[in-house]
């Protein structure tokens, strides 16, 4: 992969991530550590500052088997063809294997369902999960079946042309019918497992719209303009309206001990046909039941 630097003085790891459209900054750093990134044929460190016009060569390694096992886990497939698959992920299902979750994940399930038809962006043999949602967030998640599809979809995600819609129950009442939270998000200095609003954080924008008002709670639809870790959860908590059940940024409520947040809609341009794909899925039973209970209690 050949990239041309267009920002004088930018760190090379940031430049590779931004220009490539398919590699994260962490992935770029990993490739540099392995000697796969050069400028003018010379290997450089991740803190190297590029000059405008520099030619950056990125050699993507051959896909390696990372020892993941395919597992026959039932999937609610909303859309599938030769290039992409979209799944309605249930609450509680981890997306990627990690310490403490070596199996039983969405990746393991996709490996069983898709067989060899999976992308290997970044040099690891695993389904090309294009965007992630938290373990206890349910709803639509997209994976690519080949590298070409993954590159195209990752570029759409980076340029904000992929639309992701969520619904949630938030604590408290909103005066306005709609609004926007525009506040940068970074790792919390007090608790490294949490995210927080930070002046030096990454740009993060969430748009929200009221769908229903009830006694002490509000049903919201949220549109992501960016996709930071825990973005909707952090943004709503920052304006005094944490998501119901979010014990990390709020507290348990209405019988929920994890966030009542569902990825209800997804829109993207098909990487092969260029057709606009619009997908939706219903609210999970616990979310729908909570809404019915609130409706019986009466509006706010």
DSSP 3-state percent helix, strand, coil across the chain (nearest 5): 20, 30, 50
Helix, strand, or coil here: 288? helix
Same domain, 175 and 252: yes
Question: How many whole angstroms separate alpha carbon 257 and alpha carbon 244?
Answer: 8
Report how far apart, in Å, the C-alpha atoms of 35 and of each of 21, 59, 61, 64 are. 20, 9, 10, 17
* 187: β partners: 195
Structural domain boundaries enclosing 124: 62-155
Residue 281 lies in a domain: no
CATH number at residue 28: 3.10.290.10
Catalytic residue among 134, 136, 152, 246: 134
pLDDT (0 to 100) of residue 136: 97
Question: How many whole angstroms separate alpha carbon 72 and alpha carbon 83?
Answer: 21
pLDDT (0 to 100) of residue 300: 62
CB-based burial label for 224 (10 Å; 0-12, 13-18, 19+): buried
Same domain, 32 and 120: no
Residue 233 lies in a domain: yes
pLDDT by 10-residue block (mean), the chain, 300 residues: 90 88 76 86 88 89 62 96 96 84 87 77 59 94 91 88 97 97 94 92 96 97 94 98 97 96 98 97 98 86
What global pTM score does this model have? 0.80
Residue 277 lies in a domain: no
Same domain, 222 and 106: no
Same domain, 52 and 140: no
Report yes or no: 51 and 8 within 8 Å, Cβ to Cβ.
yes
Same domain, 133 and 38: no
Same domain, 293 and 193: yes
Same domain, 47 and 66: no
The number of folded domains in the chain is 3
Residue 229 lies in a domain: yes
Helix (H) or strand (E) holding 141: strand 138-144
Same domain, 51 and 107: no
Same domain, 86 and 47: no
Pairing of strands 84-89, 138-144: antiparallel
For the chain, the first-to-last Cα distance in angstroms comes to 56
Residue 144 lies in a domain: yes
Domain stops at, among 155, 172, 188: 155
CATH number at residue 97: 3.30.2350.10
Same domain, 82 and 50: no
Same domain, 198 and 293: yes
Please say if 134 is a catalytic residue. yes
| DSSP structure string for 168-184 | EEEES--SSSEEEEE--
Same domain, 247 and 172: yes
Query: Among candidates 216, 273, 245, 220, which has minimal Cα distance to 84?
Result: 273
Residue 279 lies in a domain: no
- Chain Cα centroid distance, residue 190: 24
Counting other chains too, the contacts that 1-5 makes at CB distance below 8 Å and 24 or more residues apart are 1/57, 1/58, 1/59, 1/60, 2/55, 2/56, 2/57, 2/58, 3/55, 3/56, 3/57, 3/58, 4/53, 4/54, 4/55, 4/56, 5/50, 5/51, 5/52, 5/53, 5/54, 5/55, 5/56
Residue 203 lies in a domain: yes
């Amino acid at each position: 992969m050949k990239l041309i630097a267009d920002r004088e003085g930018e760190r090379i790891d940031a430049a590779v991530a931004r220009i490539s459209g398919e590699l994260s900054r962490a992935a770029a750093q990993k490739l540099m550590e392995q000697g796969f990134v050069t400028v003018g044929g010379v290997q450089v460190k991740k803190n190297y500052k590029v000059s405008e016009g520099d030619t950056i060569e990125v050699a993507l390694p051959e896909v390696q088997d990372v020892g993941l096992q395919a597992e026959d886990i039932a999937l609610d497939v909303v859309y599938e063809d030769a290039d992409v698959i979209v799944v309605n992920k249930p609450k509680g299902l981890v997306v990627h294997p990690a310490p403490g979750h070596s199996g039983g994940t969405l990746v393991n399930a996709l490996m069983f369902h898709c067989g060899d038809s999976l992308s290997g962006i970044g040099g690891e043999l695993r389904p090309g999960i294009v965007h992630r949602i938290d373990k206890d967030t349910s709803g639509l998640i997209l994976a690519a079946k080949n590298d070409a599809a993954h590159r195209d979809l990752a570029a759409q995600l980076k340029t904000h042309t992929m639309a992701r819609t969520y619904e949630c129950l938030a604590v408290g009442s909103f005066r306005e019918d709609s609004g926007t939270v525009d506040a940068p998000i970074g790792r919390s200095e007090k608790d490294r497992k949490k995210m927080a609003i930070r002046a030096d954080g990454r740009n993060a924008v969430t748009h929200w719209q009221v769908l229903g008002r009830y006694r002490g709670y509000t049903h919201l639809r949220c549109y992501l303009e960016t996709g930071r870790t825990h973005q909707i959860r952090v943004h709503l908590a920052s304006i005094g309206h944490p998501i119901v059940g979010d014990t990390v940024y709020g507290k348990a409520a209405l019988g929920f001990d994890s966030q009542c947040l569902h990825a209800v809609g997804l829109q993207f341009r098909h990487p092969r046909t260029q057709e606009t794909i619009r997908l939706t899925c219903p609210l999970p039973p616990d979310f729908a039941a909570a809404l019915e209970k609130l409706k019986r209690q009466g509006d706010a």
